[in-house]
Amino acid sequence: MIISLILTTSLFIGGTNLNQTQIQKINITYKIGKSIEVNGMNFAYTLPSIMGVESSFGKIIIGDQYSNGKLKSLYQSSLGPFQIRLETAKLVIQKTYLRKKYGYLIYKQNKKKLYEKYFKIKKKLVYYKSILQNTSWKQRARKGNIKAIETLSWAKRRYKYNLKLSYKLSKKIYKDIILINLLLNNTKFSALIAGNYLKMLYIEAQKKGYKYPYFRALGRYNGGWNNKKYARKVLKMMKLVKKIIKYKK
């Protein structure tokens, strides 16, 4: 095992070079993981290990950005050092003690997610605006072309209607924006969500009667209950995390 301190701002341990920010995030996550218990065990080493696998200890804070070659919005991506989706964060807040502190960020919604509706409306606004700004349509309308006049009048009505609708929806989804920012920029918040989500998965695995609920919960964090490959990655990363924590102590 190689351990050395480089200019006091980075740590080279176990063949991995970590900067001061990464080390701080590991320490924060370790403490939060230690406070989350289930069946007499805690997630002190597990949480920073998941963070290491998911984001290289906070280096990559936006994941799963593309779908069929198209860039997805932050509302649909995996966010923060633990690569958590917005809907997962909402679920954890609603189902755990975190509701007391963060429940105000959860809004009631229909089956269709409000932000999906919001972005569809934004696309419509771009479309109607392109018609209103179209030089050809405007020139034809000035010359008295009935079809051009009717088209521009229709586009103007639709633009105004959708503009009002987008404004109303934006006032609601601002809560989602706050959650997104917390996931991206607040390591403590992200660790609380990830740790409590893992605890929920552990309890669910027990209810399902799985033999190794901890191992199953690890796999489920990044896929299915039988995701052994991911679970093993986390356990492998844990060897490094233990060295880092031991060294820092």
DSSP one-letter string for 162-195: HHHHHHHHHHHHHHHHHHHHHHHH-HHHHHHHHH
Q: Supply the pLDDT for residue 3.
A: 42
Burial of 136 (0-12, 13-18, 19+ CB in 10 A): exposed
**Cα(20)–Cα(16) distance, integer angstroms:** 13
Q: Supply the pLDDT for residue 248.
A: 65
**Mean pLDDT for the stretch of residues 5-20:** 66
Q: Supply the pLDDT for residue 14.
A: 65
For the stretch 119-132, pLDDT in tens is: 889 999 999 999 99
Burial of 50 (0-12, 13-18, 19+ CB in 10 A): buried
Q: Supply the pLDDT for residue 116.
A: 80
| Percentage of residues in the chain having pLDDT higher than 70 | 89
Measured CA angle at 109 (ends 74, 160), to 5 deg: 75
Length reported for the chain? 249
For the stretch 188-200, pLDDT in tens is: 999 999 999 999 9
Residue 170 has pLDDT above 90, yes or no: no
Of 2-16, 92-106, 227-241, which gets the smallest average pLDDT?
2-16
For the stretch 142-168, pLDDT in tens is: 999 999 999 999 999 999 999 999 988
Q: How many CB atoms lie within 10 A of CB 233?
A: 19
Q: Supply the pLDDT for residue 47.
A: 97
Confidence of residue 112 (pLDDT cuts 50, 70, 90): low
- The packing angle between helices 46-55 and 20-35, to 10°, is 140
Query: How does the average pLDDT of the chain come out, rounded?
Result: 89
Confidence of residue 175 (pLDDT cuts 50, 70, 90): confident
| Percentage of residues in the chain having pLDDT higher than 90 | 69
Of 24-28, 38-42, 106-110, which gets the smallest average pLDDT?
106-110
